[in-house]
Structure 1
Amino acid sequence: MKPVIVIHGGAWEIPDDQIEENIAGVGEAVRLGWRALEKGGSALDAVVAAVNSMEDNPIFDAGIGSVLTLDGTVEMDALIMDGERLEAGAVAGLRDVRYPIRLARLVMEETPHVLMIGEGASRMADRFKVERITQEELVTEFARKDLKDWMKEHNVKGNSGHDTVGAVALDANGNLAAATSTGGVTGKLVGRVGDVPIIGSGGYADNRVGAVSTTGHGESILKVNLAKLVLTYMDTGMEIQEAAEKALGYMSVRVKGTGGLVALDREGNIAHAFTTSRMVWASMKNGKLESGINP
């Protein structure tokens, strides 16, 4: 099986002056994921490498650069899923972990649980020596300005952009994996958890069908279980791109939600689709890098 990886850096109204940085960021991340695959690494290794890179890049809403809660703090969520065994790990409400996706993988591989939250997840980070980080180090000037601008509208039910990163990969053994990480949405209430750490919403992987990582309005994605919906359509025989577009269309009509996703089927066919104005994405297949941001 020929390895493939496709990633996204979020579906939202990406400003013109951030296009170059976004495309460069996903380009760097997808290369790191591809390098893991080239060295014989697993699909899990690849998606973690790619997402790690974006968690470290302040242009993206994950890890350093995460958007702020209404209280001006960072709370992060992440998910990873192994398509071979249908094993998954997720974390929510992290306030001081540098790489949430690494901790999500440890939840999957080192505990009998699927989802860990808050203080318990932080204790687990200490146990496995996952790198910690302060709130001051996580918060960027962009995030502060974004919250300040948001608060002028003072609408807790409003939607914000700067959303979510994710990756899906197929390795040489034919195994699929999905990973998604986020700081959430600007101005969210403390304790809010969106779609990202919820299996079937923020992501899903099943060797029998495919793998998906989503991005967009979290509450809408949760309501339609977007990642699993794509695979459900694919399971009926629908082509991957059609399934991606149909699932997003259903979410738009049924709950008036916008978003995007990247997906792979078990043969390594790629899909990327979005209903927002832009979504930055990148893929590598047969050693060739492709990327985009506009419809």
Structure 2
Amino acid sequence: MKICHLYLILISIAFFSGCASDNSKEKIEKKVVKPVVISTWNHGIPANQEAWKILSNGGNALDAVEKGVRTAEANPDVQTVGLGGFPDREGKVTLDACIMDHHNNCGSVAFLQHIKHPISVARKVMEETPHVMLVGEGALKFALEQGFGKENLLTEKTKKAYEAWLVTSDYKPVINIENHDTISMLALDENNNLSGACTTSGASWKMHGRVGDSPIIGAGLFLDNEIGAAAATGMGEAMIKTAGSAMVVELMRHGRSPYEACKEVVERIYKIYKGQPDLEWLQVGFIALNKQGEYGSYCLRPGFNYAIQTNTIKNELINADYKIQ
């Protein structure tokens, strides 16, 4: 009788172990949706279109994110990125950007002037130097040495806006207009590799020399090719204080969905600023993409949107969920 009982126990253990093994296997082999590209704001639509030309033909995510965000850098009507970007309080257009690939290689430029495509300079920093970040005159010198053209980035439109601002010189950004100051893009390619890019002209009317989160790996952009990627938009100081994008990725590592991870970091930022005057005009938002092709976003206030494109979603603009009205 005891032998029969022992036999039944062993059979039960083997059965339930097999079930557990099957469930684990199912979890590990979850179908990956790819390629995927996600980017911030309505200028993410043309950016996604350019990136999709590469991704849909089997190209790599790094090329896709660089080419994608260049569309905003070259568009003078996008006054928060590249050519025609709002200047600082001295009337100078200064640009920040970073890029990161699936090997955790990254490049960055900050406080760069006179170069329309800082994202491409950032990629050159990543690929042609032993460094991660170049800034100011050094970044400009490097860009010129790499063959980038020097040009005036202050258009008549932004010059007039600057002159109007000088009348009051009040530094209080208008939510979702002057303080979204970024295009961020994340992509997952056919080879199941992630890359990301972030580029900006920074906060309008900032102090000369101010650098935000956009060129800072871990704040404005971060990815781990085993887990996922995240990028930020909004007032950069808040993302720097929380290492926002790195935290989103880390939360995904611990099982959060992209949406849940973005939401948790926004709520952390809210707690930091709660009760402070800056909360009155603060806006922050995150986008995230994991290795299964799942994506998500969350922001502090209404008004932030993002563009998403996959094989089944044709470049759709979505309003992100938000914390406070």
Deviations 1:188-217 (A, max 9, x none): 111111111111001011111111121101
Alignment match, 1:4: 36
Amino acid across the alignment from 1:48: E
- What secondary structure does 1:219 align onto? helix
Match of 1:65 among 84, 87, 93: 84
State how far apart, in whole Å, the 1-side matches of 2:156 and 2:303 are.
23
Which residue, 196, 203, 206 being the options, matches 1:178? Answer: 196
Specify which of 252, 273, 276 is matched with residue 301 of structure 2: 276
Q: Which amino acid aligns with 1:76?
A: L
Q: Is the 8 A contact 1:99 1:131 kept in 2?
A: no
1:92 to 110, 119, 128: 110
Instruction: Give 1:244 deviation, angstroms.
Output: 0.6
Counterpart of 1:71 in 2: which secondary structure? coil
Summarize deviations over 1:209-247 as a string: whole Å, max 9, x none.
111121101111110111011112111111110111111
Deviation by residue 1:104-138 (Cα, 9 ceiling, x = unmatched): 0110111110000111111211222123322xxx2
Do the aligned partners of residues 236 and 149 (structure 1) sit closer, same or farther apart at CA in structure 2, a change above 3 Å counting? Answer: farther
1:116-265 superposed matches below 5 A: 116-134=134-152, 138-156=153-171, 160-255=178-273, 256=279, 257-265=282-290
Larger Rg belongs to:
2
User: Is structure 2 residue 101 aligned with structure 1 residue 77?
Assistant: no
Residue 310 (structure 2) pairs with residue 292 (structure 1): no
The alpha-carbon distance between structure 1 residues 47 and 234, as it changes in their structure 2 partners (threshold 3 A), is: same
User: Relative to total residues, which structure has the larger strand share, 1 or 2?
Assistant: 1
Alpha-carbon distance in structure 2 between the residues aligned to 1:96 and 1:187: 17
After superposition, the C-alpha distances for 1:236-284 in whole angstroms (9 at most, x for unaligned) are 1111101111111111111345311221101111112222331232111
Distance across 2 between alignment mates of 1:247 and 1:142: 36
TM-score by length of 1: 0.88
RMSD: 1.9
> Which region of structure 1 is more displaced relative to structure 2, 42-51 or 285-294?
285-294
Cα distance between partner residues in 2 of 1:275 and 1:262 = 13
In 2, the alpha carbon distance for the partners of 1:291 and 1:243 equals: 21
Letter in 2 for 1:271: G
Would the alpha carbon gap of residues 208 and 239 (structure 1) be closer, same or farther in structure 2, given more than 3 Å must change?
same
Higher relative contact order (CA 8 A, sep 6+): 1
Which range moves more in the overlay, 273-282 or 97-106? Answer: 273-282
CA contact (8 A) 1:6 1:169 kept: yes
Paired AA for residue 274 in structure 1: C
Letter in 1 for 2:100: M
On the 8 A contact 2:306/2:320 being kept in 1, the answer is no
Equivalent residue letter for 1:77: D
Classify the secondary structure of the residue corresponding to 2:261.
Answer: helix
Query: How far apart are the structure 1 equivalents of 2:150 and 2:55?
Result: 27
Q: What's the secondary structure of 1:144's corresponding residue?
A: helix
Gaps of 5+ in 1: 10-22
1:41 aligns with 2:59: yes
2:10 match: none
Aligned residue-pair number:
277
State the distance in 2 between where 1:277 and 1:148 align. 29
How far did 1:26 drift? 2.5
Contact map agreement 1:204 1:227 (CA 8 A) in 2: yes
Do the aligned residues in 2 keep the contact of 1:208 with 1:266 (CA within 8 Å)? yes
* Aligned AA (1:128): Q
Does the 8 A contact of 1:150 with 1:186 survive in 2?
Answer: no
Using the aligned pairs only, state the percent identity. 35
